[in-house]
Amino acid sequence: MNRKRSVLSALLALSLVCAACGIRTNLAPEAEEDLIVVGMCQVGAESDWRVANSESMKTVFTEENGYRLLFDDARQKQENQISAVRKFIQQQVDYIVLMPISESGWDSVLQEAKEAEIPVILVDRMVDVADEELYAAHVGSDFRREGAQAVQWIETACPETEDPVRIIHIQGTLGSTAQLGRTAALEEAVARHDSWELLSQLDGDFTQAKTYEVLTEYLSGLPAGQEIDVVYCENDNEAFGAIQALEENGYACGKDSVKVITFDATRNALLECMKGKIALAVECNPLLGPMVERVIQTIEAGQVPVKHHYVEERTFTAGELTEEIIQQREY
């Protein structure tokens, strides 16, 4: 905790004791000064996952918990994130929490934060910077591992036969760590399996609307009755758009027809999975607030936090899901 806040918190404690024993002091509790000010740069609200991620942060970084949260929604534009970081530097916040929309383009603004001696904590996706000292820690997911879990399931569901495995790949926001990791896992598997055929890679930008649009256009150009075995969607909102486009074009979605794979496994996707429309849901845990707070408390205690913190994630298929399991989930 920095000097300014420790002096003030001592004075605050003193004034509270005086107030408790009825002695009037002229010290208005400077509670505001005692709060840890966190400038948060969120990507946007493009997906159910993102909404749950923001919710998790707002639940943790409250005044009761000792924080003043300054929350910026970049509406999925990196330039908005960069100006928000600059604004937080001017405001001299105590910490900057950044959910970087894409990996590139961060070196200079993170250098400015470093010169202002404001620790930056990366959440969810990563940045590709020359100097790892430009951020204090990263809290997020191992996206290649998520992709590897999906590939493993396809290998089991579509055993190697002379029959090709025809895959349509719907990618997330291009250049985001989640897209890069999930894409790498699939592309490596396609290179490894002669019978796997990548029919097309489409940019769904992690949204339902974009996926519906690009897949509808792609399907309209296919020969009638073209077989599709797997649609690999890099998040739930893409899966919802894909199911809509597939069904409108005469394709059935299910484990014995078009196998739709999704990432995030938010409640709505698990419901589709239980109904059999989504064949596999790979969990991507958005509830990162508590882990970010632990990093801040580590730094407040004068210690150096571990650089990378990964959340535990699993997969779901229809057979494992019931209404109550889904209702119990936090997102």
> Could you say whether residue 240 binds ligand GZL (CB under 6 A)?
no
Choose between 124 and 293: whose C-beta lies nearer to ligand GZL.
Answer: 124
Structure tokens at 2: 């920095």
- CB neighbourhood size of 164 (10 A): 15
Distances (CA, A) of 125 to 100, 119, 128, 285: 6, 17, 10, 12
Query: Which residues in 266-295 contact Zn ion (CB under 5 A)?
Result: 284
Integer angstrom CA distances of residue 300 from 92, 98, 293:
16, 18, 10
In the list ligand GZL, Zn ion, none, the entry touching 206 (Cβ below 5 to 8 angstroms by class) is ligand GZL
15 binding ligand GZL? (CB under 6 A): no
CB nearer to Zn ion: pick between 15 and 266: 266
User: Residue 141, interface with ligand GZL (CB under 6 A)?
Assistant: yes
124 binds, among Zn ion, ligand GZL, none (CB under 5 to 8 A by kind): ligand GZL
Question: Residue 84 gets which letter from DSSP?
Answer: H
Nearer to Zn ion, 34 or 205 (CB): 205
Across 91-113, b (16+ Cβ under 10 Å) vs e yields eebbbbbbbbbbbebbeebbeeb
Total of chain residues touching Zn ion, rule CB under 5 A:
2
- Contact region for ligand GZL (CB under 6 A) — 41-49, 56-64, 84-92, 223-231? 41-49
Options 46-54, 55-63, 212-220, 248-256: segment touching ligand GZL (CB under 6 A): 46-54
User: Does 178 engage in binding with ligand GZL (CB under 6 A)?
Assistant: yes
Which pairing describes strands 67-73 and 120-124: parallel, antiparallel, or unpaired?
A: unpaired
Q: 285 near 313, Cβ under 8 Å?
A: yes
- Residue 141 binds Zn ion, judged by CB under 5 A: yes
Angle at 154 between CA 259 and CA 127, to 5 degrees: 100
Closest distance to ligand GZL from the beta carbon of 299 (Å):
23
Q: Edge to edge, what strands does the sheet with 36-42 contain?
A: 67-73, 36-42, 95-98, 120-124, 137-140, 308-310
Binding residues for ligand GZL (CB under 6 A): 46-47, 49-50, 124-125, 141, 176, 178, 206, 235, 263-264, 284
Binding residues for Zn ion (CB under 5 A): 141, 284
